Structure 1
Amino acid sequence: MDINLIKTGFLAKLGDFVFEPKGIAFQKFDRESSYNWAEIKMIGSHPLRQFLGVNGERISISGIFYPHYRGKLSHMSDLRAMGAAGIPYRLIAADTDSAQNLGRWIFKSVKDGRTIFTSDGRPLKVDFTIELESYVQDL
C-alpha cells in the first residue's frame, strides 16, 4: 500500500526517526522473505512438501555517516533507545512516487563501528547496521 504524503528528501522513516541524505543516510537496504514448508517423508519416493505459511520478514539497513559533516553520534543513541523501548515501529520507504508503507517492525539489533578519530577522540566515520524483523503484516 502506498501512502500519500509529500516526500521531502527522506530515504525512509522508522517511527519518528528519519533516514535522510542530509542527516543519517543508509547505503544498503536488504529485505528478506522466507516461507515455511514441512517435509513429509515417503517410502520409495521423494518427500512431499506442505506449505505451512509465511515466516516473518527481515530487513537490514546499513550505511556510513560522518558526524563532523552530516549526521550526529546521538542518532545511534536514538536508535538504541527505540530498540530498548520494546515496541514495533512503522517503516515507510521512500522508494516509490508517494512512499511505501512496509508495515510494523521490531528491532533485533543495532550495531555501529567508529573509526578515524580526532585528537580529542571523536570519530569522523561511523558505520552502522540495524536489523529489523516484521511484527505484524498489516499492509
Structure 2
Amino acid sequence: MAEVMMQLGFFQFSINSATYQRLSRSTEYRWARQARIGTSDALQFTGYGPETIEIEGVIYPHFRGGLKQVDRMRTQASSGLPLTLVSGIGKVLGLWVVEGISEGQEVFASQGVPHRQDFTMRMARYDSGLRSLLRFF
C-alpha cells in the first residue's frame, strides 16, 4: 500500500495516486502601527491573519487511482464543511476549507481520456471556533 503524503477529510494524496509536487504555505500576522512624534512607529500585535496552503500536483489516471480523483476532490470540497488536514507523518494541521480546485488535462487517448491531469488546490485555515461548527450537526 502506498504511503499517504497528506489527507484532507477522506481524500488521500499519495505517491501512487494524486501526488502533489509542490506545497506552498503562507501565514500572515497582523500588527497595528501607531505613529509617534520624533521616533519610529509603535507596533502592536493584534492577531493572526489568513493562513493558506496551495498544492500543485499531477495524476496519471492509468497508473493508479483512476480518472475520478479530481472529481472526488471537488465532491468533498462542495460539502461546504471544514475538513481535517493531516500530514503524512500523522500531524493534525487543523481544519481547512477548499477555496478552489483547478485542473488541466493533456496527452489524450481515444474518447478524450487524458493520460495526465495536473491540479492545483487552494485551502484556507478554518478558525471560527467550535461553536460555529456545531451548526453543521
1:120 and 2:90 are equivalent in the alignment: no
Query: Which one of 11, 17, 22 corresponds to residue 17 of structure 1?
Result: 11
Structure 1 length-normalised TM: 0.84
Check whether the contact 2:2–2:14 (CA below 8 A) recurs between aligned residues.
no
Aligned-partner Cα distance in 1 for 2:28–2:128 = 14
Contiguous gaps of at least 5 residues in structure 2: 130-137
Aligned to 2:93: 102
The alignment covers a number of residue pairs equal to 129
Aligned-partner Cα distance in 1 for 2:68–2:93 = 25
Say what the alpha-carbon RMSD is for the aligned residues: 2.0
Aligned to 1:3: none
Contiguous gaps of at least 5 residues in structure 1: 1-6
1:57 and 2:48 are equivalent in the alignment: no
- Percent identity of paired positions between Structure 1 and Structure 2: 31
Aligned-partner Cα distance in 2 for 1:70–1:41 = 59
Structure 2 length-normalised TM: 0.85
Aligned-partner Cα distance in 1 for 2:19–2:29 = 31
Which is strand-richer, 1 or 2?
Answer: 2
Which is helix-richer, 1 or 2?
Answer: 2
Q: Could you list the structure 1 runs, at least 4 aligned residues long, displaced by more than 3 angstroms after superposition.
A: none
Aligned to 1:68: 62
Aligned to 1:132: 123
